[in-house]
């Protein structure tokens, strides 16, 4: 295991977390592990577009009207000429179901990986519609762990990923983000992960078998999949590099090790601001109360929908602006049980885009929401609330 704080007593159970993916764990004497990622030089600049649900701060219900994010997703699916490989959790947006079926009917190979309880529960009719159309759906078979990804790869060269389920609520009511990256190298990384699940291998049975560090003409992109790649350690390390600020939009955060790191950074003078979802904030294991007590300024949403984001922006105007994004909630289940994907992208323009989304949510919330809902317990099952 890895010793979290090498200056603290090694006998403290809370001072240890999982081993790193490579290198050797920090020992009780405080020796740091060494884990150097191999860099894949892609050979061109990072080509991306990013989308947010702009209705989230004002919407009072779902709508059948399309949002820019939905139109971008439909355009991507409709552009496919050879293949669409989809790893999803929630699916009930009829336009997406219809587009996937239309792609299949025009000869595109459509493969879908899903979650067993989602496929037989509230999203069963949409999953069944794909199956009835002749699209094969492979689902995990674990009752306690979920296939929680929300990504697709089109024609082996374009990746769509982020926090957005393909549902009415996620596309038109909840605060969500999605990023589209055009690159065959990263697409190959995601396809390798997809192929494992397509073959029926999920959760801890998968292998850590993908490239993790890609260089796009000087822009660094890190890619990690849960649970094999121990993403919490990577986020923990990234938070340690914050010099000025951390801004986050979060659905669920219950990982005490990550909270410990942020508390350390607050003590070092790093400013920490957050926007939290009501359900996540009120969960008995939420770290929000601790962060607020340590000096973080966090508002809890009072929107009609959820703040379903799972992102953080580090040093938006610093020397190394970073965005952490994907499907991974900052929980032990998200890191060590579920199938998830996370990107850590070092890019100033992207950091500014995510910071602008954070600022939009923050500005829509009154001062009365500041550090207010972290001591109320509302029992909620994570897998039942991801809509």
The overall longest dimension of the chain from CA atoms, in Å, is 63
- The secondary element (H helix, E strand) that includes residue 346 is strand 340-346
Q: Please answer whether residues 123 and 166 qualify as being in contact, where contact means their C-beta atoms are separated by less than 8 angstroms.
A: no
> At a CB cut-off of 8 Å and minimum separation 6, what does 278 contact?
300, 301, 302, 306, 373, 378
The catalytic position among 104, 148, 299, 308 is 148
Quote the CA–CA distance of 285 and 253 in Å, as a whole number. 8
C-alpha–C-alpha distance, residues 33 and 17, integer Å: 13
Q: Which of 104, 150, 247, 306 is catalytic?
A: 150
Paired with 317 in beta bridges are: none
Rounded to an integer, what is the distance from CA 295 to the centroid of its chain?
Answer: 25
Judge whether 203 counts as a catalytic residue: no
Q: Is residue 155 flagged as an active site residue?
A: yes
Q: Which tokens go with 367?
A: 């001062």
For the question of residue 150 being annotated catalytic, the response is: yes
Check 155, 215, 256, 320 and give the catalytic one. Answer: 155
Q: CB-based contacts of 276: which residues, under 8 Å, 6+ apart?
A: 250, 253, 286, 288, 298, 299, 300, 301, 307, 373
Please identify which residue in the block is written with the tokens 């996540």: 280
Helical ranges in the chain per DSSP H: 68-79, 94-105, 116-120, 124-132, 168-172, 184-198, 231-240, 256-267, 278-282, 288-293, 332-336, 348-363, 382-385
Peptide bond just before 227 cis, omega within 30 deg: yes
Query: Which residues are designated catalytic?
Result: 148, 150, 155
């Amino acid at each position: 295991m890895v010793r979290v704080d090498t200056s603290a007593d090694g006998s403290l159970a809370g001072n240890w977390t999982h081993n790193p993916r490579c290198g050797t764990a920090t020992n009780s004497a405080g020796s740091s592990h060494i884990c150097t990622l191999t860099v894949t030089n892609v050979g061109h600049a990072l080509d991306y577009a990013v989308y947010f649900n702009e209705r989230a701060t004002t919407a009072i219900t779902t709508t059948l009207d399309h949002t820019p994010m939905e139109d971008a997703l439909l355009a991507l699916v409709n552009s496919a000429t050879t293949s669409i490989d989809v790893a999803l959790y929630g699916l009930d947006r009829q336009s997406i179901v219809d587009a996937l079926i239309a792609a299949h009917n025009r000869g595109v190979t459509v493969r879908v990986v899903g979650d067993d309880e989602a496929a037989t529960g509230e999203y069963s009719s949409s999953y069944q519609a794909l199956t009835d159309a002749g699209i094969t759906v492979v689902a995990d078979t674990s009752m306690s762990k979920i296939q929680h990804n929300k990504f697709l790869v089109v024609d082996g060269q374009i990746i769509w990923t982020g926090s957005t389920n393909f549902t009415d609520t996620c596309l038109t009511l909840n605060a969500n983000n999605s990023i589209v990256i055009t690159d065959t190298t990263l697409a190959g990384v995601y396809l390798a992960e997809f192929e494992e699940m397509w073959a029926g291998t999920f959760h801890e049975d998968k292998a850590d078998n993908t490239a993790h560090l890609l260089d796009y003409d000087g822009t660094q992109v890190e890619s990690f999949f849960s649970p094999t790649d121990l993403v919490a350690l990577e986020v923990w390390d990234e938070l340690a590099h914050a010099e000025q600020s951390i801004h986050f939009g979060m659905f669920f955060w219950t990982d005490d090790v990550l909270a410990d790191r942020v508390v350390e950074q607050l003590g070092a003078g790093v400013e920490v601001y957050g926007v939290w979802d009501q359900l996540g904030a009120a969960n008995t294991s939420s770290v929000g109360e601790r962060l607020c007590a340590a000096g973080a300024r966090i508002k809890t949403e009072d929107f009609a929908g959820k703040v379903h984001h799972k992102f953080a922006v580090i040093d938006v105007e610093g020397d190394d602006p970073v965005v952490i994004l994907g499907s991974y909630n900052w929980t032990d289940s998200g890191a060590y049980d579920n199938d998830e994907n996370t990107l850590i992208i070092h890019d100033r323009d992207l950091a500014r885009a995510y910071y602008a989304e954070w600022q939009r949510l923050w500005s829509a919330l009154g001062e009365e929401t500041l550090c207010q809902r972290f001591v109320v317990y509302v029992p909620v099952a994570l897998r039942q609330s991801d809509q």
